[in-house]
């Protein structure tokens, strides 16, 4: 009952947060758009009018002065024509200039204002210790459900296997929602499961090893980073991911004799390829695993074909 209440609470908080963010964004954009358009229109007209008058005045004085000094008689119609041309020129130039400047200004102001409003009204409240415990229990339950069944047929995947793959996708979405509630809790839970499994991977079943690597892989989407920069920024997240990647690469796990573990290993290495820019000393070990019987010379055609594609991506990162 407690777990289900917490689960429902988490789901509803996530749902409400999405709705409120969308609502606030639409309302605030409309509000800012109306206010800023009115404000910009007044400012732009005043600014253009002042600049245009000043510019025309200077031009006309110069024109008249030159005409007088050179004894050129300028008719009244010619003066009016010059004035109209200069006004039109000034109007076009200044409107274009002001439009670009004010649009940029409005965009920055609107984004900042909406961001502040959404953060104020849409942030998740801080979880109590009891709520954190329940959320962590749900996370661990979801992680356990991600584990392959012993009857899963990797060589001849049928309808049952397809249903489990779809079920895994739904569990991943749930884990992503839980990450929005408490990213730190998810990072700690995954780190604990990963480290406990990798310490005895030689004696662990392939299901345990595969799901441990899979959880590390899924962190990249549950805790997204701009352009895959998972190893810069937040110190806690960066340190935890570096420790897990260092353990993954140096543990010898790439030699595990199961296709699912081999594929998951190379998928994770390529997802966190920026790690090797931070710690390049691990590159030779990983390159060897790509090129020998663990990768491109693997006995499984499925593994060989996938590793060939992943290897090309990995090499591009190192160039």
pLDDT band at 164, cuts 50/70/90? very high
Residue with the bigger pLDDT between 160 and 54: it is 160
Against a cut of 0.85, is the pTM above it? no
CB of 56 within 8 A of CB of 83? yes
CB of 277 within 8 A of CB of 270? no
DSSP assignment of the chain equals -HHHHHHHHHHHHHHHHHHHHHHHHHHHHHHHHHHHHHHHHHHHHHHHHHHHHHHHHHHHHHHHHHHHHTT----HHHHHHHHHHHHHHHHHHHHHHHHHHHHHHHHHHHHHHHHHHHHHHHSPPPPPHHHHHHHHHHHHHHHHHTSPPTT--SSS--HHHHHHHHHHHHHHHHHHHHHHH-HHHHHHHHHHHHHHHHTTTTTS-HHHHHHHHHHHHHHHHHS--GGG-TTSS-HHHHHHHHHHHHHHHHTTGGG-S-HHHHHHHHHHHHHTTTHHHH-GGGHHHHHHHHHSTTTTT-S-HHHHHHHHHHHHHHHHHH-
**Which whole number is the average pLDDT over 292-305?**
95
**Which whole number is the average pLDDT over 228-232?**
80
How much is the pLDDT for 155? Answer: 85
How far apart are the C-alpha atoms of 100 and 74, rounded to whole Å? 37
CB of 238 within 8 A of CB of 231? yes
Instruction: Residue 241: name the closest of 178, 179, 194, 290 by CA.
Output: 194
**Which whole number is the average pLDDT over 156-163?**
92
* CATH level 3 topology of 168-318: 1.25.10
In a 13 Å sphere around the CA of 119, the CA atoms on its Cβ side amount to 6
How much is the pLDDT for 228? Answer: 72
Decide if pLDDT at 217 tops 80. Answer: yes
How does pLDDT run across 56-111, given as a tens digit for each residue? Answer: 555 556 554 544 444 444 455 555 665 566 666 655 555 555 444 545 554 555 45
Instruction: Residue 268: name the closest of 227, 319, 218 by CA.
Output: 218
pLDDT band at 286, cuts 50/70/90? very high
CB of 253 within 8 A of CB of 265? yes
What the block records as the tokens of 141 is 């339950």
Lookup result for tokens 């309302």: 27
CB of 298 within 8 A of CB of 255? no
How does pLDDT run across 7-33, given as a tens digit for each residue? Answer: 555 555 555 554 455 444 444 554 544
For the chain, the structural domain boundaries read 2-122, 168-318
Lookup result for tokens 């953060």: 119
Instruction: Residue 179: name the closest of 170, 189, 169 by CA.
Output: 189
Q: How far is CA 158 from CA 130, 145, 163, 212, 258, in A?
A: 42, 20, 9, 25, 19
Instruction: Residue 164: name the closest of 151, 176, 178 by CA.
Output: 151
């Amino acid at each position: 009952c407690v777990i289900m209440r917490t689960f429902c609470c988490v789901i509803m908080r996530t749902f409400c947060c999405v709705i409120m963010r969308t609502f606030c964004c639409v309302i605030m954009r409309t509000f800012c758009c109306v206010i800023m358009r009115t404000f910009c229109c007044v400012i732009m007209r005043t600014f253009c009018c002042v600049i245009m008058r000043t510019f025309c005045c200077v031009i006309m004085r110069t024109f008249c002065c030159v005409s007088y000094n050179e004894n050129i008689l300028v008719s009244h119609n010619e003066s009016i024509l010059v004035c109209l041309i200069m006004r039109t020129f000034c109007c076009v130039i200044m409107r274009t200039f002001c439009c670009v400047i004010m649009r940029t200004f409005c965009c920055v102001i609107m984004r900042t204002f909406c961001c502040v409003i959404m953060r104020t009204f849409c942030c998740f409240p801080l979880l109590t210790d009891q709520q954190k415990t329940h959320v962590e229990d749900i996370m661990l339950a979801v992680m356990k459900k991600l584990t392959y069944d012993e009857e899963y047929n990797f060589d001849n995947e049928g309808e049952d296997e397809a249903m489990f793959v779809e079920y895994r996708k739904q569990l991943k979405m749930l884990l992503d929602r839980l990450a929005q509630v408490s990213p730190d809790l998810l990072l700690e839970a995954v780190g604990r499961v990963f480290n406990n499994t990798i310490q005895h991977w030689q004696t662990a079943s392939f299901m345990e090893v595969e799901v441990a690597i899979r959880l590390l892989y899924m962190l990249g989407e549950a805790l997204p980073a701009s352009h895959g920069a998972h190893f810069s920024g937040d110190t806690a997240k960066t340190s935890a991911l570096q420790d897990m990647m260092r353990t993954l690469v140096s543990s010898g796990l790439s030699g595990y004799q199961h296709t699912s573990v081999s594929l998951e290993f190379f998928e994770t290495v390529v997802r966190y390829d920026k790690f090797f820019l931070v710690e390049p000393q691990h590159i030779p070990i990983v390159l060897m695993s790509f090129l020998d019987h663990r990768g491109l010379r693997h006995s499984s055609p499925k593994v060989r074909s996938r590793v060939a594609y992943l290897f090309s991506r990995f090499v591009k990162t190192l160039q």
